[in-house]
A and B are shown apart, each in its own frame.
Chain A
């Protein structure tokens, strides 16, 4: 029986995915925008995009029907902050393009050509329901890490949904270490680089005049100009409460900055400041240890308290293995639901928790109109789950990206199949495939 099941999975791999017009009916339909699941819902995808979703939606003629049999149907998970595509094996440096510690470039780095859609982390995370990811570089020798992208996890050569979708910079202890050892140096270096980029924008010749004393390369200056004018969101890793306040204050000097806070472990202590500044936050919600002195106030109630204060909170996996285990997004969101039942703690409702791993991260990166929910006009990223997607061990049974059915089989599945019985047969295991 197991073998038959596995063979059918293998057959799906062999057939290349083609764009389909599909209607998934009889669904416990989750739109992903924070609204409650709709029983008996239908979602229609045509030309790779959602055209209708809800109860009583008619299925147009000529559209393939898939009966979800009452199961959960949701938008694909949007990983709020990851390194998928940038690394295969973290400790094998040749496979690891997350960071560039020895480059002289910084903000100008663009991860797009480093992404590997054939890497096994793409397929493994897809099999756990992730269809899109916000991917950031980890760092360079300079303060700014470079430009991340929004990617899809489809089985094709082009991962990039939106290139140069963000600029990443680490504040706090990491940034201070790079800037010379103090937050004073960090804030000064940050300002000086932005001001240099601004001067360069006004008069490109200034860069040549600075010569070897230039603190940034031309490509970096180009990238920082887009940060200053708000066309590239600036993702800032920051944890300590007062650091968060000081980062928000930077908007006084650079008013067009589009800030997104990453981590924000002590965010709950300054939730009102964050809400007033309308700055979205990407959190690792189960972080509850004072891992450093800038995380003394760590609590699993951080996400819930920020949400209650009116902050847009996305749930991600920053403090875990963020290239390999994006499937933890659903588990973490489920834990926020559980936390809501603990006296004195703050969590989220199921509907809010699901939105925090779908439409809310899409909004954080300015793409709410194109991915992250099943509202009309969004990408046809749809998942049918075998169970409540926020429960432990639930898995997709079918998954589409841009309306194309995707394989859910991974290299890990092949290994598992080979060793369902570990004993070797007439020939060694190497002949068993």
Chain B
């Protein structure tokens, strides 16, 4: 697809959790918990409130009568602030400091006085019914000329356990929201920009790592299309695919629009009750339904079933709207006969409604109330197809296609958070903010200064365990040993279920130094680290593996093995090294360094050969 030709424009919002000691507006730790660990629960209703200007209309009044019940899990690591039972603490200065550091890296302009706002969110993910958020800096630059519009400091929402049950451990963890300008024009550019911003964030060394700690919302439009916001893309690798599929979707929706217009297609205002036609049907869904309603779309035949994204059709888009009424979806004549509906039934339906071949018919089945809502919604979406691409918020489906979530919010409903005083950022504060070394630069420096090979240098620079590596190198441990240990050894141990996060930097240094000095075998390092992670004192763990085999003992062992196989050695010469290495290691593994074994073995073989 020629993205230039279709006029692709995209921007991203990156939400990254910060690794602070305490939450943004309370003093709880930023620790995630297992839901089984919850120590209490309560439930609440949320109600939409009167807007800050005191405006109210009938729709809002109706909405306010809506009771939405939510259940919340509490922990010994959450407090009354998460419960919405205590006013918030002042803004966490550590979090603000990190946000400013990120802002400085993007050459942004910090605001002089940061005001905390309340953004209404009544889906239950915030006990208060709003998310606290504050604009910290504006107007940054990206390499390649793009722009960062804003950086906001926000509190993380509560995590949904299931349905309307939420867990309060995550609520209030500080996160930064970085919003770029709509400055990207290809899917790959969006992905590489997200990668770059992610790298900058990690360069601070003060962001949370792991799944769910970073999320991207992507805004995409094409010329003649419309702005669509795709929420919550967690996998970086899928970003380009999501953008490409959205561009494809908008292109196809525009093509459908053109075709509909060429056909003078319309949407019929009348809803037809066709329940009686399906009285004897073998379609389980239609048979079970109290009511089956039909909506006629003159001129839509063939287009409702046309694919607009992998696995998605205009029919799926109509279905998404209908699902808002509590229905499972729709049937349409482009896909029938199917789902137990026979060709005869379709023909009967067409005859009954008197529709032409170029017309499509939608079937909506369920309770009367829901079906009537569904008929309205399906007409709404079908009409939007005549206009092209609707502006909307969408959610990502597996693979990178998307489904409708809700309309784009209008002007943000934002209120001042009256319980938090504004925070002034003085010139002195701003000047004191240090710019972290970018991980990309760090990798180059590791190559140059530590002699690591480029791949390893990059891997270790970008690794979550960079601080461990740095501690080891600073303590004089060889860079390659340190890098391989933090990257490979700890990773493998972690995979085996060892709690590697319990290994302190000073303990790692102790173990690696013992290995370097030959007091323990390098082969023993994983076992020793495993013991430490399991609670052993580092010194004891090293001792337990140290001195397993002294130089003399090793020489005696090797000499014995070589002499026992004298004929083999004399026949093979140095080629006996490999096979004999295995024999020696069977007895020496974990007690002595493999390199040392190899050295002694070589000496003994050459003596005999």
Q: Do these two chains interact?
A: no
Residues of B whose CB lies within 8 Å of any CB of A are: none
